[in-house]
Structure formats: structure tokens, C-alpha cells
Amino acid sequence: MRRQRRAKIVATVGPASSAPETLRALLAAGVDTFRLNFSHGTHEDHAKVHAAIRALEQETGCSIGILQDLQGPKIRVGTIAGGAIKVAAGDRIRFVRTGTEGTAEAIPLPHPEIFDAVMPGHELLIDDGRVRVRVTGLPGDAIEAEVLLGGTISNRKGVNLPGTILDVSPLTAKDRADLAFGLELGVDWVALSFVQKPSDVIEARRLVGDRAGLIAKIEKPSAIETIDDILRLSDGVMVARGDLGVEIPHEYVPGRQKELVRACRQAAKPVIVATQMLDSMVGAPTPTRAEASDVATAIYDGADAVMLSAESATGTYPVETVEMMDRIIRATEAHKLYRSIVQASQPGMEETPPHAVAAAAADLAESIGAPVIVAFTSSGTTATRIARKRPALPILAITPSRQTARRMNLLWGVHASLAGDVGSYEEMVERGRRVAHEEGFAAAGDLIVIVAGVPFGRAGTTNNLRVAQILPTPQA
């Protein structure tokens, strides 16, 4: 199923989209990877969706990516007397470790790791920042704070601590059980929530191994500060703008998004821009102009993929939302300024032979007017290196691995084609010609650029470049 665009679409599956017929419609509308949000639903629910997607894969013959998004630790206040209390700017309040009937003088905060890490001057954001307080003292087993932004604190509302690094694993007991279940199902990607530091990724990698790609969700300021190390340890990044927009001022989010996309392009790792992209389409058949511009901005930034959350999971118009996102991406990529904007943010090339070969393939293909770059890849690395260049033509990635084909549904500009191993150089060239022609990327007489690693089947060895011509089809 060939897409007429380079950037990919990730759509969250939920009650509005879990039926097999809706999944089929979403795939036809443009979804490349389906997201299973393990903050909601049961294992049985997710298993049914997973089975339906894999059945759809068999039906259509195209590889489909599945991303498991883990919930991560949730920090919340405890129970409040009467269900809620109101606080005003300038009020003095107090948080305690234990308690069941909280008041302004003793708001339960049953998270000892906060009491161990917080310092005077640090801020606590309650209910997505609707209430903001600053720590003024730490007497005994309590946290004293001054209210900076007043509002209502009600039962079990979430708490964010943007300036505090907590000694807490991003993997709760629930996450570990969910991860084991997802890996048993055979998900292609695992998104790790609440990443604060590189060691969080190392912990998750020990559990995931090479059974799935590991995506670090960037939603904490501390993660941005160590992004280069986090990128080295992960297989991709999600710019989770929802929580990130709570923990840093709203006006800084667009700039941080650009920084993160550029860092991922530099590292040749896929990057997903997520959260509230077409949020008004949860209940309306069309987005706002600002939302359309938001999606376009991510595409101009060079993001590999953009993601739908509630829009496709619980919204009234899941299929229409995917169709709209597809239209926005295609229109943006067709705009006369798109190439110049994407190339202007091109990161410097890593000075290694594999990256140099991949970059040369993109330049050569454009200079000779080739309609496609053909990449033979066992792990997806060769295709990733070419995609990093953001060439003006599609990348046809031929792989013997179904798992690799599925994962490449997150890669910018890559169309994955499943084929068996090649045993010789001549067989590689002939297969590249044949698949490019059969998949509609090239016609007889066209020149194509073929990139591979020799010896074949060894991951990461991008070292060979070949120009080949599509031969006429023999007449019967």
C-alpha cells in the first residue's frame, strides 16, 4: 500500500476505532503504525486489537507497525476532605506523606520519592498546571509551599515536578506486566513514558532487548538536558507535547520540538511529534486552521511521523481525522517552499563511511533523475541513514525481515517491501530492478540507485552503491 507522502501517520486505537472494519478504514485512510495505549484498556482488549491488525496485514499483504505505549508512573495527590479544596495565590499549604482526609494544612501526597528529592524553590504543578505552588520549607515529613496560581485541588489529581529529578523507575509493576504481555504479542515498538535520564532507557532496554524498537517519550525537562545520551540508547523518540507542555512554559514548546526533531535527524533515529495535533476533531468533522498549521509545522521541521491520540481513539470522526492529516501532510510536502525549509534544517553528516554512502546515494539519485532509491536492509539501518538526508524521492527498502518491514513504517520516506535474502551481488541488482518496477516506483528505461551492505545480511554495513537501469519486460 504505497503512500503519496513521506511523513508517516501514527493513530491510537481506542473504543472509537478498535472494530476490525474501522481499523481497515483507518489503514486505507493513511495510518502507517497503530498505537496501543496501555494507560487504558485490558490485556484482552489489546490482544483483540493486535490480532485484528495482524489479520488486516495478512488480508492486505502490507506490513503494519504496532506501537505499545506504556503508562509509566503516575504521581497524584491523595483523597481530599469533601472531594476538593480551593486555594488562592499567596496561600500557604502543606503536603504530607500519609492521610486520608486531606485539608489545606495536610494534603496527602503518597509518594515518598518526592519528599526525598524536592528542595525549596522547586515547583509542583497540580492538575496539568491549573494549580501551581512553590516549595518554601521541608519540616519533618512534610512539604510547605506557597500557592503561585490558585484553583481547585481535588481527589487524585496529577502532580508534575518540572525541576525535580525523582529517584523512581519509569517502569512500574503494571508497566512490567504490560511490557511482558506486549512483547509476547509481538509489538514492533515500545514507547517508554516518564524518561528522566539515560539510565531509565538502559533499564527498559534490558527488558526489551532486540524484540522491539525502544522509543523514549520526551515529556520531562531533565530528558531534554541529556537528549544526546538518551538518543544513543534508544531507537527513536516521541515528542510528547502534552506533559512536556505542562512542565515547561507553553511558549517554549515549539522551539523544543524543533530542537528534538533536529537532534533525532542528526542521530538518524525516527522522531514522532504527538499530542493534540487535530484535537478539535475529537468532536468536530474539521480541524481549526491553527491545528492544520501545527501538523504542517511538524512536517516542515522534518518529523518522521505525526500522531493522533484521542482524535482516533475516542473521537467521533477517527477515519475523517486520518484523512485530514494525510491531506495536510501531502499538501505541505507539495508546497514550493517545503524542500528548501527541510534542507535548511539538515543536520551535519556523521563522518563515517556508511553515512557517507547513504548521503551520496541520495545526492546521486537526485542528480541523475532517478525515481527511487532502493535500499537492501536487514535491520533497517541503511534505510534510516538515507532517510536522514530527506531526499526528494522515495526510498524503497527491501528486507527479508517482517519485523524490520513493520518498524520501517515509522521512517520518513520509506516504503518497505518484504523479500527473501539475496545470495549474490547480481541477484541483488536484479531483485532491486524487479521490485522497483513491480511496486510502481520505476518504469522500463529508468535509472535507479541501489544501496546495500556487503556482505549481505550483516546489520549496519552500508558500503555499496550501484546505478542500474530498469530493463524492458520480455514479451511473452
406 catalytic per annotation: no
Among the options 24, 74, 76, 97, which is catalytic? 76
Locate 327 and state its grid cell: 491531506
Phi and psi dihedrals of 297, rounded to 5?
A: -60, -45
Which residues are CB-contacts of 390 (< 8 A; sequence separation ≥ 6)? 6, 265, 302, 342, 343, 346, 412, 413
Q: Which amino acid is at 9?
A: I
Q: How far apart are CA 473 and CA 279, in angstroms?
A: 49
35 catalytic per annotation: yes
Among the options 33, 164, 275, 404, which is catalytic? 275
Q: How far apart are CA 176 and CA 407, in angstroms?
A: 22
Q: How far apart are CA 311 and CA 296, in angstroms?
A: 17
Q: How far apart are CA 450 and CA 423, in angstroms?
A: 16
Contact 40, 14 (CB under 8 A): yes
Q: How far apart are CA 473 and CA 476, in angstroms?
A: 9
Q: Which amino acid is at 441?
A: F
Strand partners, 236: 215
Among the options 217, 256, 269, 406, which is catalytic? 217
Which residues are CB-contacts of 58 (< 8 A; sequence separation ≥ 6)? none
DSSP at 278: T
Among the options 35, 157, 389, 433, which is catalytic? 35
Q: How far apart are CA 174 and CA 358, in angstroms?
A: 41
Contact 459, 356 (CB under 8 A): no
Evaluate the CA torsion angle 51, 57, 60, 61 in order and state its sign.
negative
384 catalytic per annotation: no
Locate 450 and state its grid cell: 541501489
217 catalytic per annotation: yes
- State the catalytic residues: 35, 76, 217, 275
